[in-house]
């Protein structure tokens, strides 16, 4: 047995030697020079750096392009984290950002309360619903769509997955939507004037003036600002396009305090006015509604206005719009 094993080992050893001698009869061991070692290290460093950059890009990718499994609910509302959609009508609704309609619709409620002329009749309720349609889907939808149209270059940097920069909807379809919503809103305003028996079409001209402001807000050369809270997520694109939003002009930290200060000081001023007007209960109610707003400002907005954007607005906005109703009831004529 030992003899067989020894014979086998000798055979293998001989085969290896024959193979080596035939392929490389004068084989020598070459040691790497310092230059080759340096080049190897550079290659390894480059590869590692490339891998690190790739990992960083992968980590940031979800912020730039939502996953296919994004929320369909967010898509319909037109907010961050939306599901990528191909249905043209869902994309059209997304452009109008329905999440921004409630404050305008609520404004109709507050206006009716402040007027003192609203009665719970079928006609008054119907007029209010038509007015809400004009304010929300039509004119707010027009404002949001035209804003996205003129912000398409900025969105290509900040939010390239949005419908217009991503190419999910064509330019002609967007322009058609802008005109349909604008004319629909102005037409509804005219109907309300006729329905109310106005000799002068005041609702129509108010709607026309508001639509003009929406255009000036969105379109060059003026490009006005409106919602500071939305500027923080657009800092990168605004800076590249030369737009002096508050976060760009003053820095994000200062802009955060300007934003919450404007909201809180305005409401405190109204509360002071109501107190001076001899309506202390309304003033106290308004102060009570300011407190939770300040709490959510510190919990969400001042901590990270981009990360907690939706949470902050969903938490604080209900108290803000309830404050509008309190003020409307206090000034009821």
Q: What is the pLDDT of residues 45-81, one digit of tens each?
A: 444 444 444 444 333 433 444 545 556 656 565 556 6
- For the chain, give the percent of residues with pLDDT over 70: 72
Residues 182, 331, single domain; the answer is no
- How much is the average pLDDT of 212-224? 81
Range with the lowest mean pLDDT among 111-120, 158-167, 241-250, 296-305?
Answer: 241-250
Domain span including residue 86? 62-226
pLDDT band at 36 (very low <50, low <70, confident <90, very high): very low
Q: What is the pLDDT of residue 104?
A: 87
Task: Please count the structural domains in the chain.
Answer: 2
Contacts for 316-322 with beta carbons within 8 Å, 24 or more apart?
A: 316/292, 317/103, 319/289, 319/290, 319/292, 319/293, 320/263, 320/267, 320/289, 320/293, 321/102, 321/103, 321/106, 322/289
Q: What's the chain's average pLDDT?
A: 79
* 33 found inside a domain: no
Average pLDDT over residues 325-333: 87
- pLDDT score, position 128: 95
In this prediction, residues 92-104 reach a mean pLDDT of 89
Predicted confidence band of residue 5 (pLDDT cuts 50, 70, 90): very low
Same domain membership, residue 166 and residue 244 = no
Q: Which residues pair with 82 in a beta bridge?
A: 71
Q: What is the pLDDT of residue 62?
A: 39
Residue 142 lies in a domain: yes
Same domain, 278 and 187: no
Q: What is the pLDDT of residue 196?
A: 93
Rounded to two decimals, the pTM is 0.68
CA–CA gap between residue 116 and residue 122 (Å, rounded): 17
The pLDDT score that the predictor gives to residue 56 is: 40
Tens of pLDDT, residue by residue over 179-210, are: 999 999 999 999 999 999 999 999 999 999 99
pLDDT tens readout for residues 300-323: 999 998 888 888 988 998 999 999
Cα angle value 95/181/125 (rounded, 5°): 105
pLDDT digits (tens, 9 = 90+) for 253-268: 999 999 999 999 999 9
Do 214 and 247 lie in one domain? The reply is: no
- CATH code of 122's domain: 1.10.357
Q: Which has more pLDDT, 327 or 33?
A: 327
Residue 21 has pLDDT above 60, yes or no: no
Same-domain check for residues 139 and 284 = no
* Residues written for the chain: 333
Q: What is the token pair recorded at 37?
A: 């070692």
pLDDT at 116: 85
Specify whether the CB–CB gap between 225 and 248 falls below 8 A.
no
Q: 201 in a domain, yes or no? A: yes
């Amino acid at each position: 047995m030992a003899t067989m094993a020894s014979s086998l080992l000798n055979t293998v050893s001989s085969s290896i030697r024959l193979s080596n001698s035939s392929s490389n009869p004068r084989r020598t061991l070459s040691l790497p020079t310092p230059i080759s070692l340096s080049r190897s290290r550079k290659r390894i460093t480059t590869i590692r750096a490339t891998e690190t950059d790739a990992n960083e890009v992968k980590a940031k990718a979800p912020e730039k392009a939502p996953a296919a499994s994004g929320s369909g609910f967010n898509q319909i509302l037109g907010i961050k984290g939306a599901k990528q959609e191909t249905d043209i009508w869902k994309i059209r609704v997304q452009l109008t950002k329905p999440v921004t309609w409630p404050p305008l619709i609520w404004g109709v409620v507050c206006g009716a309360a402040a007027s003192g002329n609203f009665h719970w009749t079928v006609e008054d309720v119907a007029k209010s619903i038509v007015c809400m349609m004009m304010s929300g889907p039509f004119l707010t939808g027009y404002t949001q769509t035209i804003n996205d149209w003129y912000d398409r270059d900025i969105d290509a940097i900040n939010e390239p997955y949005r419908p217009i920069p991503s190419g999910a909807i064509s330019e002609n379809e967007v322009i058609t939507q802008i005109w349909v919503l604008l004319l629909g809103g102005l037409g509804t305003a005219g109907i309300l004037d006729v329905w109310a028996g106005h000799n002068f079409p005041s609702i129509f001209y108010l709607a026309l003036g508001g639509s003009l402001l929406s255009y000036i807000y969105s379109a060059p050369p003026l490009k006005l600002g409106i919602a500071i809270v939305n500027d923080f997520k657009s800092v990168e694109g605004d800076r590249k396009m030369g737009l002096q939003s508050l976060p760009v002009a003053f820095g994000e930290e200062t802009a955060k305090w300007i934003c919450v200060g404007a909201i809180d000081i305005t409401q405190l001023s109204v509360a002071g006015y109501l107190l001076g007007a001899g309506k202390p209960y309304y003033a106290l109610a308004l102060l009570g509604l300011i407190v939770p707003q300040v709490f959510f400002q510190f919990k969400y907005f001042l901590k990270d206005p981009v990360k907690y954007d939706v949470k902050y607005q969903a938490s604080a906005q209900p108290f803000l719009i309830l404050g509008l109703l309190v003020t409307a009831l206090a000034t009821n004529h």
